[in-house]
A and B are shown apart, each in its own frame.
Chain A
Amino acid sequence: MNILLIDDDRDIRLLLKMLLSNYGHAVSECDNAPGALEICQLESFPLMVLDWELGEIDGIQLCRQLRALPHGDESVILMFTGRNSPEEIQMILEAGANDYMQKPADIKWLKIRLQIAIRQAENQMARKQAERQLAIARTKEVEIGSKIQQNLLLGKPPLRYHGIEIAARSIASRKVDGDFYDFYPHDDACFDLVIGDVMGKGIPAALLGAAIKSRILQAMNELKSQTRGLPPDLSRILSYVDAEVTPQLIELGTFVTLVFVRFYLEKKQIGMINCGHPRTIHFRNSEKKSVVIPGDNLPLGVLANGAYSVQTFSYGAGDLIFFYSDGITEARNAQRVFFGEERVVSFVHEKNRLPLGEFIDGLCQTVEKFSGTDALNDDRTCVAVKIMDSGNSSCSDVLELDGQRGSLARIREFVKEFCAAMIGETGDLQPVNRIVLAVNEAASNVIRHAYKDHPGGPLRICVSHQDRRIEFLIEHRGQPFQPPVLETERFREPRESGMGLYIIDEIMDEVEYLVRGDGWNTIRMVYDLRLK
């Protein structure tokens, strides 16, 4: 190791250097305090031997200054001095030195004390190295956890349920926790969603969350084979999962809260099993009232072979059903007051007319403002389901054609006709041109890039509207792509390429690029006339 000797006595420095070099260490010397401080700002020394008497700045002051340097606590400092009163030894220790040796020293004792100091420094180095590796491992754990969360814990809301809009968001705390949600479309009239929270933190909780999701899917597939493909009962699914996971959860000493929900779109009903999760909030548009739906099932992992009761309730046009994790309600402010369910209910009641993305962002910002910090103690997870108003009846149309350049004119005509018919004679037709351009750009990108290697592949343009929101789904079987993050600044300079994505982003209110598992890829775009 590197050792620094600071002593104004040349003979002492020579002696110590000889002894330390014999042990195989590299030794640097300095005869004054300012010089030593300068050296230590450029290089670190696991062991330093200081003299007390150094001139204007003595060894005591130097020791304090060395300890004040970044990483100054990582060195072993040994004071080598003739002073030996208890008060002086106390000063040495209070200045931050680890030990002292008394001058003059018998050479044998000097060797022993130096070896002790060297051993101390080696142990210190090993401990610091272990701490650094632990910090790296922890950072890596968080990165892995974040990837687990994004890839395994958070599902994508289904797209094509007319009259229903779904938004979901999970904001991870500094450490990855066990919040998860997923969606299970059964058919055009029925889908399930689950939102859950595993007790505990870090990768173990995240892995358990992923396991629970996987078990739910396994249960559905297994039970569907018995129900000839019909969606199995919610309680049967959960009992199946319970039988699989509760023994392990009990053994691990953990539990999982969740809400398991089924939407029956034709009957406009919801079936729900709440297992210890924060209560669901339902804004009923017809009554202009927000109600809290209680849950009366125990979390998974509390009791084996639990029975699960399903609650059923109806919904109507304009309703909002809101599910969330306790990271929202248990956020605390500086006075240690919880954000609480009541505040969430108030927010739902006041802000339910917002576009869902803004609604969820708004709630998260409100919680952050309340807590006075953006540091999270727990994940904050929300799933919001909006039932569209029936103000304008939904309608839809589909155009199927080959993905080649000659199809673009037909696509523009199709979009123009649909939008013009939807907006109607009394409406403002100006948006139509912008919408046509954006859809043209998206289709053009698919034709030129997604189908670059095999032109003419199938292209499907689906358009629907509900409550003055027009949704376009451009579906293809070409190469999927994720667009780069747009830099608005670059369009201050003229560019010969790259304008298409910018145009789409500028015109459309929502844009998503989705890869489905069945070979079809989708560009989803929404133009919201309510926002214009």
Chain B
Amino acid sequence: MLLTLDINTDYRVANFICDELDAENSEQFAREIETHLLPGMHIIFDMKNLRFIDSSGLGVLLTCKRKLQDAGGIMKLCCLSVTVREILELVRLVRVFEIYDSREAAIQSIPDSLN
């Protein structure tokens, strides 16, 4: 298992347990998160344990974002390590994702009716 989920009614926080997301485990990650990509859902990925992500992992994150958006949901990232943030900056994805320094800030950004 790569993730644990904190489930609220209208938002979920997905906590990475693994410290690396690459071509070996990105497909498993995609399977684990798929069931939570529900219409209108807000998902926050807490990435504090993640030390490395490659293009396979980034591709799955982008797919999640697209699917959620298509279903009227929103995806946020929080607690990025320096390394992971640098990787996102390298491939110009920092402005594609909503990124927060802390889990609390990400939760607070959710509209009050849902929080």
Contacts and interface: CB of A to CB of B under 8 A. Distances in A.
Contacts of A412: 20, 52
B54 A441 contact: yes
A439 B62 CA distance: 22
Interface in B4-23: 20, 22-23
Interface string A388-427: 0000000000000000011011001000000000000000
Nearest to B53: A437
Contacts of A441: 54-55
Interface size class of A (residues with CB under 8 A): 20 to 34
A106 interface: no
Given A405-B23, A437-B87, A496-B62, A503 B92 contact: no
Nearest to A497: B59
Interface string A479-520: 000000000000110111101101100110000000000000
A511 B12 CA distance: 42
B101 interface: no
A440 B54 contact: yes
B58 A408 contact: no
B24 interface: yes
B55 A447 contact: no
A218 interface: no
A503 B20 contact: no
A444 interface: yes
Nearest to A491: B92
Contacts of B1: none
Size band of the interface chain B makes with A: 20 to 34
Contact of A494 (B62, B83, B86): B62
B114 interface: no
Nearest to B61: A496
A432 to B, nearest CB: 10
B56 interface: yes
B67 to A, nearest CB: 11
Contact of A499 (B22, B52, B55): B55
Contacts of A405: 22-24
Interface string B88-103: 0011110010000000
A409 B56 CA distance: 14
Contacts of B87: 437
Given A408-B22, A494-B62, A500 B90 contact: no
A492 B59 CA distance: 15
18 contacts: A409-B24, A412-B52, A433-B83, A434-B86, A436-B52, A440-B54, A441-B54, A444-B22, A444-B23, A491-B91, A492-B92, A494-B62, A494-B93, A495-B62, A496-B62, A497-B59, A500-B54, A503-B55
Given A405-B23, A495-B62, 5 more contacts: A408-B22, A412-B20, A434-B90, A437-B87, A492-B92
